[in-house]
Structure formats: structure tokens, C-alpha cells
Amino acid sequence: MARTRCSDPVVGAILASWRYDISGISPEMRRDYEQHFVECSHCRARLKFHRGLDVSLAVLTSLAVIFFLFALATILHIKPLEHVAFNILGLDIVSMYQMLVSAGIAGVCFSFIAFLLVLTATPLPTYLTGIAARRSKLIEEHLPETVRSPRSR
Ligand SMILES: [Zn+2]
């Protein structure tokens, strides 16, 4: 990341302690911080970095849930490890099967909890809702007048 300096170190320190998340404060207080984001390229870059980090965490944890569900489906329906468990490892098939299913279920639970923690501990829902609202407004502006919803007129 480029070495830039915050134009107002006091405000920059406050924003850094909040991980550049101002979604939880009142709209009157938020105005000053939003103005600082407009003026200060350092804090704007940090804001972008932290929201990118939040999105990455949410994507990684949701992918973990999907991969563990896929692994469970594979174990339950294809049973590809029977040969390995029986001939190479010399394990009992039932115990191997139960161990893999237990690991899969534990993985799904753990990654789902991690996904929920990411959603609750970060301002990601607010951030994504804001992006969706801006996109829908942009799309509605390009629609013909007869198709637009009544609230945008
Ligand atoms: Zn700043």
C-alpha cells in the first residue's frame, strides 16, 4: 500500500479505531467523516482495503460451507474412499465412513458459524446493501420512463 499521510490525524485515528466503518453512527455525525473520506485519499484507500477484506472473508467462509457440503454429498453418494480405506489403510469401512461424515458435518457447522461471525462482526451487510441500492438506482436511471417504478420519479 502506498505511503500516504492522513490530512487530519485525529479524525484518521478515530476512523482507524473503527476499522473505517461509520455505518453505526448517527447521520449527523457521519457527515463529517464522509467529508473526510472525500478529502483524504489515505483514509479512502484504507476504507476500500478494509471493506475488501470483509468481502474476502465472507467469500472464503461461504466457499468453505459450499465445499464441505460438496464433500458430504460426495461421501454420502459416491463413496470413493472405500478402496483406499479397505485395501491401503486397512480400516474398517464403517468407521472410516463415520469419521469422514463427522468431519464433513463439523466442517459445515464450523464454516457456517465463521460466515455468520463475519456477517455480524463486520459492516458487510450495510456495505453490500449500499452497493445494491446504488446499482439499482443506476439501472433505473437507464430504463425508459414507462418502465420505471413510481418511487424513482
Ligand atoms: Zn484521513
Question: Ligand 1 centre and the CA of 24: distance in Å?
Answer: 19
**From the CA of 47, how far away is ligand 1's center (Å)?**
10
Q: Indicate whether 86 belongs to any domain.
A: yes
Segment 43-69 shows an average pLDDT of 94
Gap from CA of 50 to ligand 1 centroid (Å): 14
Range of the domain at 29: 9-122
Cα 6 to middle of ligand 1, angstroms: 4
Whether 70 maps to a domain, the answer reads yes
> Does residue 150 lie in a domain region?
no
CB proximity list for 100: less than 8 A, separation 6 or greater: 75, 81
The answer to whether residue 129 is domain-embedded is: no
How far CA 119 is from CA of 1, 7, 56, 83, 130, in Å, comes to 26, 31, 12, 41, 15
Q: Is residue 133 part of a domain?
A: no
Residue 42 lies in a domain: yes
38 within 8 A of 15, measured Cβ to Cβ: no
Mean pLDDT of 77-92: 70
**If you average pLDDT over every residue of the chain, what do you get?**
86
Domain count, the chain: 1
> pLDDT value at position 126?
83
Per the domain annotation, does 3 fall within a domain? no
Res 150: pLDDT: 66
What is the structure's pLDDT at 14? 93
Ligand 1 centre to CA of 38 (Å) is 9
User: How close is the Cα of 120 to the center of ligand 1, in Å?
Assistant: 26
Task: Look at residue 62 in the predicted model and tell me its pLDDT.
Answer: 95
Helix 41-77 and helix 93-121, axial crossing angle in degrees, nearest 10: 160
CA of 49 to the centre of ligand 1 (A): 14
pLDDT given for residue 89 in this prediction? 72
